[in-house]
């Protein structure tokens, strides 16, 4: 199901959704956490991104696994290429889990503050902000590393 569409690997088609939605979620979650006056305006978007980005990352990861397995079964990967792809897959898996964590924490903050942007005590607000900034930074970093290793696998020499 997540292998090919008209001969094209699904992974190549869907990875762009993760490349767009993961950074948007990271940015939206950080703004939502740090700028309480904007919460009433952007809460719906952050909530939507908190669901969309992890789903996009999951579909990208699953389709990448299918693509990887097909390449290995067809013996189209050199040992050096396999090493690059293994790193790419490890980064992609981390990206998914970090994005899922970011989405869950962002959704929780939105749920707790949607009706009253200042409903949380300052300590809880600060705690959410710290966690969201860290998860956003890590999600962005591993998204970049995943893309870089994927580009190396496709365009680099292996």
Q: What is the mean pLDDT of residues 40-59?
A: 98
What is the pTM (predicted TM-score) of this model? 0.93
4-155 CATH fold: 1.20.120
Which of 96, 78, 90 lies closest to 18, judged by CA?
Answer: 96
The pLDDT confidence band at residue 158, using thresholds 50, 70 and 90, is very low
Q: Model confidence at 157, in pLDDT bands (50, 70, 90)?
A: low
For residue 117 the two structure tokens come to 């942007």
The answer to whether the CB of 109 falls within 8 A of the CB of 67 is no
User: What percent of the chain has a predicted confidence (pLDDT) above 90?
Assistant: 84
Mean pLDDT score across all residues of the chain = 94
Lookup: tokens for 141:
């970093």
Tell me the average pLDDT across 97-101: 98
Parse the chain into domains and list their residue ranges: 4-155
What tens digit of pLDDT does each residue of 110-140 get?
Answer: 999 999 998 999 999 999 999 999 999 999 9
Per-residue pLDDT averaged across 99-105, rounded?
A: 98
By residue count, the chain amounts to 158
pLDDT attached to residue 16? 96
């Amino acid at each position: 199901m997540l292998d090919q569409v008209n001969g094209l690997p699904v992974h190549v088609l869907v990875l762009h959704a993760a490349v767009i939605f993961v950074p948007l979620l990271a940015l939206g979650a950080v703004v939502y956490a740090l700028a309480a006056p904007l919460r009433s305006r952007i809460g719906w978007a952050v909530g939507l991104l908190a669901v969309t980005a992890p789903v996009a990352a999951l579909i990208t990861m699953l389709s990448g696994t299918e693509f990887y397995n097909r390449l290995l079964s067809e013996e189209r990967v050199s040992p050096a290429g396999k090493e690059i792809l293994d790193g790419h897959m490890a980064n992609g898996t981390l990206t998914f889990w970090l994005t899922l964590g970011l989405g869950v924490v962002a959704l929780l903050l939105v749920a707790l503050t949607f009706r009253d942007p200042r409903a949380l005590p300052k300590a809880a607000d600060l705690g959410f902000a710290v966690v969201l900034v860290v998860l956003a930074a890590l999600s962005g970093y591993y998204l970049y590393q995943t893309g870089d290793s994927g580009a190396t696998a496709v365009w680099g020499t292996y």
